[in-house]
Amino acid sequence: MKDNAEKIVSGILNVLDNPDVQAGYPDANGNTETTWCNRGANRIAENLGGDMSIFLDPRGINWTTANTMFQNAVKNAKEISDAEAQQEANDGGLVLAACYNSKGPGHVAIVCPSDDPFHSELGPLVGETGLKCRIIHSRLAFEKWGFEARFFVIPKK
């Protein structure tokens, strides 16, 4: 695995255990029903030198939901296929996996490099926070809940 790709894996692993990206972490109003995939994905990308501004509400991450990140990605970012997303991450690039949920929170994750061959039935490997904090294939992270991930290149700062 390339050095930049190894940094992405380390960057994901370093955030997965942060208490404030775990399910049940209270929001500013004390609500513990909130999940924090938006905060986790943003932190991973920012820590790795990604420019998340194109995905965020102008007021910052604290006002940005996963649905907002998805909508801004569609408007502002370069969309790539699932296979391209895995290759981009394997080459050391940052990629946001995102979906929109019209009935509740969407979901976002960061594509994680993998030494394994790409299989379209599994999708790219992703590091996700929120309800579950783990590295898992995108089909299991998104489609299990009835959503399909789309993939967007995260520019560098």
Contact by Cβ (8 Å): 138, 125? yes
Q: What is the mean pLDDT of the chain?
A: 94
- The pLDDT of residue 1 is above 90: no
Mean per-residue pLDDT, 110-124: 96
Alpha-carbon distance of 26 to 142, in angstroms, equals: 24
pLDDT of residue 34: 84
Mean per-residue pLDDT, 44-50: 97
Alpha-carbon distance of 43 to 80, in angstroms, equals: 22
- The pLDDT of residue 4 is above 90: no
Mean per-residue pLDDT, 83-108: 95
Residue partners of 58: CB distance under 8 A and separation at least 6: none
Domains detected in the chain:
3-153 (3.90.1720.10)
Query: Global pTM?
Result: 0.96
Residue partners of 102: CB distance under 8 A and separation at least 6: none
Who has greater pLDDT, 30 or 48?
48
pLDDT band at 150 (very low <50, low <70, confident <90, very high): very high
Residue partners of 104: CB distance under 8 A and separation at least 6: none
- Predicted confidence (pLDDT) per residue in 66-94, tens digit: 999 999 999 999 999 999 999 999 999 99
